Structure 1
Amino acid sequence: MSEAEAEPGPPEAPAAAKPRRVQSGVATAEAVLSAHVAGNAELFPRIMALHVPPGAVVADVTFGGGVFWKRVPPGLYRLLATDLSTGTDFRALPYADGSVDAVVLDPPYMEGLLRAKAETRGGLGTHAALRTAYSSGREVAGAASGRWHQAVLDLYLEASGEARRVLRDHGVLIVKCQDEVSANRQELTHVQLVCALAELGFYARDLFVVVRPNRPNVARLVRQVHARKNHSYFLVFQKVPDGESVARYRTRDVPIARRPGSPGGS
């Protein structure tokens, strides 16, 4: 029998249908957003819930009046609260290397708060508490190597270097900051910090914009040159282990060690 006369074989079975993709997760309107018209006390617990697991050891090194923590359930984290009023400089923390799961940092973010001379130092009105707790001149400004806005950056970077020392690998650093105009120069502090902390070995994990709910008072305005700042930032960083590339790092869970008495601990 020729090839042309060969009997046809059995029909091919139809290709198996691909399983339909099923969307996972639960529908919700409660996702944490990146921009908020709110106060620090309202937003901070949501940032913590998203980025720091319960039971974590958290060093708030600029605790002050504890405003950030007013709406965080007591006992949810093991909080280590310090500032200058407790005798602790956030550039020289009393913690062992790699002993902390998360650090919270909110130093003075205006260069006027860091001036050494009392007659030119900022910190009146709503900034009086910052001046009293963190910017008494000799303690802060006297140790800063730069002037004007550079003094602000120096403070952040020295504190961030110390935070890296005490953080465990993949631990979280939460930084509060605000851009400013200093010496007639626009200083985008949040951008400067993201770039500088990458050099220190931190991955920029998240960013939150906080818009103040009321309009700021502006006194003695002769001619406006820059937009008046009415927003600030929470920056969330993650410690990249030594030897790993910050550029190739990916967000991962914070691997805290469960401790007796902590949520989920034995």
Structure 2
Amino acid sequence: MSEAGDAPAAPPAPRKRRVQGGLATADVVLSAHAGGNAALFPQILALHVPAGSLVADVTFGQGVFWREVPPGRYRLLASDLATGTDCRALPHADASLDALVLDPPYMEGLLRPKPETRGGLGSHAALRRYYDAGGGRAGPGGGRWHQAVLDLYLDAAREARRVLRDHGILIVKCQDEVSANRQELTHVQIVTGLAALGFYARDLFVLMRPNRPGIARLLRQVHARKNHSYFLVFQKVPAGQEVARYRSRGPVPPRAG
């Protein structure tokens, strides 16, 4: 209480109202798409990988992912089995890359050791010949059936962690499958496995094929036929930090040079 003769206390200054920034828009990158890899992949890069980044696509193949990426936007290191590069043993130095793209065979039929029972033709033919357990080569991780698929992803992710800088981006293409009468949710297994390796699951995209898949022979349908695949985006969590406490942060600016 003020004493007699004291001037009345000034009222407190009004607090400034917080004004939300940004603009109202529907022009955003969505999590589900119908179409092909080439249309979606540039959107993933634009959202998660800054221009000028050093990006290794270690399963480049025919370069379908990159067909609609503006030339020169990234410093691309394209390699695959045709160049002698195994995604499980990369020629890059430790912590030298800003981002890495991985799209290995994701169906167990492509990795069977016996040629007469091995599935798949077309774009995965070279990968199938190299990563199978035939021809005197060890199969991925020593596993069989779907486990061989998962082993391949995990072995490649370990190598990706070695060559990526801290907070670097790993983009993984995968698809769920039914193998040996078991529903295998491959994308869940990869997210769980990579978390144990020190990767934070930053984003997920569902890609649905625009046409209906054909079936040569069908006796009785037990599971829904897969007509979608995934792009999973991971971020390398620095050693000593907990994946469970890691938070999304803005894309790390590319290194110079």
Instruction: Give secondary structure in 2 for the equivalent of 1:135.
Output: helix
Percent sequence identity is 71
Q: 2:91 matched to which residue of 1?
A: 94
**Distance in 2 between residues matched to 1:39 and 1:254, nearest whole Å:** 28
**What is the Cα deviation at residue 27 of structure 1?**
2.7
**What is the Cα deviation at residue 9 of structure 1?**
6.3
**Distance in 2 between residues matched to 1:8 and 1:191, nearest whole Å:** 74
Structure 2 portions without partners, runs of 5+? 134-138
Matched, 1:141 2:132: yes
Read off the aligned partner of 2:132 and give its amino acid letter: A
Matched, 1:256 2:254: yes
**Distance in 2 between residues matched to 1:110 and 1:8, nearest whole Å:** 88
Q: Normalized against structure 2, the TM-score is what?
A: 0.92
Partners of 1:35 and 1:208 within 8 A in 2: yes
Partners of 1:107 and 1:134 within 8 A in 2: yes
Instruction: Give secondary structure in 1 for the equivalent of 2:189.
Output: helix
- Structure 1 stretch 225-234 or stretch 247-256: which is displaced more? 247-256
Q: 1:220 matched to which residue of 2?
A: 217
1:38 to 13, 35, 39: 35
Pairwise CA RMSD:
1.6
Q: 1:28 matched to which residue of 2?
A: 25
- Structure 1 stretch 242-251 or stretch 147-156: which is displaced more? 242-251
Matched, 1:210 2:203: no
The within-5 A match list for 1:49-68 is 49-68=46-65
Matched, 1:154 2:155: no
Instruction: Give secondary structure in 2 for the equivalent of 1:225.
Output: coil
**What is the Cα deviation at residue 255 of structure 1?**
3.6
**What is the Cα deviation at residue 55 of structure 1?**
0.7
Partners of 2:42 and 2:69 within 8 A in 1: yes
Instruction: Give secondary structure in 2 for the equivalent of 1:247.
Output: helix
The within-5 A match list for 1:81-230 is 81-124=78-121, 128-130=122-124, 132-136=125-129, 139-142=130-133, 143-144=139-140, 145-230=142-227
Q: 1:264 matched to which residue of 2?
A: none
4+ runs deviating over 6 angstroms: none
Partners of 2:59 and 2:80 within 8 A in 1: yes
Deviation readout 1:95-142 (Å, 9 max, x if unpaired): 111111100000000000111222111114xxx211x23111xx2022
Deviation readout 1:83-102 (Å, 9 max, x if unpaired): 11111111111111111110
**Distance in 1 between residues matched to 2:29 and 2:16, nearest whole Å:** 32
**Distance in 1 between residues matched to 2:223 and 2:10, nearest whole Å:** 71
Structure 1 portions without partners, runs of 5+? 260-266
Partners of 2:41 and 2:65 within 8 A in 1: yes
Partners of 1:170 and 1:255 within 8 A in 2: no
